[in-house]
Structure 1
Amino acid sequence: MDVSLEMIGEDGVTALNKLVELAAYDLSELSGSDIHENGMFVMDFDSRNWFEDSNMDLYFIRYDGKIAGFAVVRIIPEEEINYFNHFFVLRKYRNKKIGKDAAIKVFNRYLGKWRVSQFDWNLPAQQFWRKTLKEYVGDNYVETRRKDNKGPMQEFERETCT
C-alpha cells in the first residue's frame, strides 16, 4: 500500500476542478453551504488559476496509483512561508493514515516555515492537523488564530531534510 504525490500538470486541471467540487460537497456537511442553482457547490472556479500561479504547487495524492485526493501548497514570498492552502482526501481513503502520510510527504518537500489553518466549523480538520503535526514535529509548533479570525492555524519550521 503506497501513498505518493504527483505534481499536477496542465492535463490534470480538469480532474482537480472535479476534486475541488467533491471537496466542497463533502465540506457542506460541516460548513452548511448550499448547492447553487447550477447544481454546483463552487461557482466559477477554475484551478487553472492555481496552476498558472508560480507560487502554487499542486499535487494529486495517490494511493496504490489511484487518485485519493489533492494538496495545494502556496508559497507566500513576503512572509517566507509555505502554506498548506488546500488538502483533501476522498472519504474512501480516510482513517487509513493516507492523509497523514501524504501531508508528511508534502512537508518533506519544502524546507523553511510552514503554516496550516482550518475553519472553526471544521473540527475533523483541526483534529487531523494537530495529530499529524504532533507526530511530525512533536510540540515544536505554535497554534494561534488565523489572520481572518475564522479558525486556528499552526506554524512550525522545518530546518532539516528527511
Structure 2
Amino acid sequence: MALESKGSYKPFDLTDYWSSPNLHPFFIKKEDELIGFALVESATEIEPNAILEFFIVRKYAGKGYGKMAAYEIFTLFPGKWFVTQIEKNYPAQAFWRSTISKFTGGMFSERYDENRKSIQEFDTNLLV
C-alpha cells in the first residue's frame, strides 16, 4: 500500500478480484462500521495462501480486531501460508509475528528475503 503526495492511500486496482477465483477481498467490520480490509490470494498448486494487503484503521488498531480477522482468514483458507511485511514496517512485523505465533502455537518459520522483507510461513494442516 503506498501513500500519495497528499497523504491519502493510492487506490488499488481490484478488477482481478471480481474475476479470479484465487483473489479474495474482505471488509473488516465492527458491528456496522467498516474498520479495515484484507486482500487475500488463496493457494494454487504451486503457491501458498498469502495476505496481499491488510489494514485496520488507527482508531481500532491494537484492540484485537485485526487478530480476530486474521484468524478467520487463516481458518477460511486451510493449508500453507506466506505472510510478508516490508523491511521497516516494525509494527506490522510485530503484529504478524504475534498473531501467527498465537494462531499456530509457535509452529511457524520466519526469514528475511533478499529485499529484507520479513516473511512468516506456516501450514494450518500441521496444527493440532
TM-score by length of 2: 0.86
Larger Rg: 1
Which AA in structure 1 matches 2:58?
R
Q: CA deviation at 1:160?
A: 7.2
Q: CA deviation at 1:156?
A: 0.2
- Look up the match of 1:157: 123
Superposed, 1:25-104 pairs within 5 Å as 25=3, 35=5, 41-42=9-10, 45-104=12-71
Identical aligned pairs, as a percentage? Answer: 34
Which sections of structure 1, spanning at least 5 residues, go unmatched?
A: 1-22, 26-33
Larger deviation, residues 113-122 vs 45-54: 45-54
Q: Distance in 2 between matches of 1:95 and 1:129?
A: 12
Q: Give 3-state SS (helix, strand or coil) of 1:159's partner.
A: helix
Can you list the C-alpha shifts for 1:33-72, whole angstroms capped at 9, x where unaligned? Answer: x517xx86527x4222333222201100111121110011
Query: Cα distance 1:41–1:97, how it changes in 2: closer, same or farther (>3 A)?
Result: closer
Number of aligned residue pairs: 128
Greater fraction helix: 1
Which AA in structure 2 matches 1:84?
I
The answer to whether the 8 Å contact 1:35/1:41 transfers is no
Runs of 4+ in 1 over 6 A off after TM superposition: none
Q: Distance in 2 between matches of 1:130 and 1:100?
A: 11
User: Alpha carbon RMSD of aligned pairs, Å?
Assistant: 2.4
TM-score by length of 1: 0.69
- Look up the match of 2:102: 135
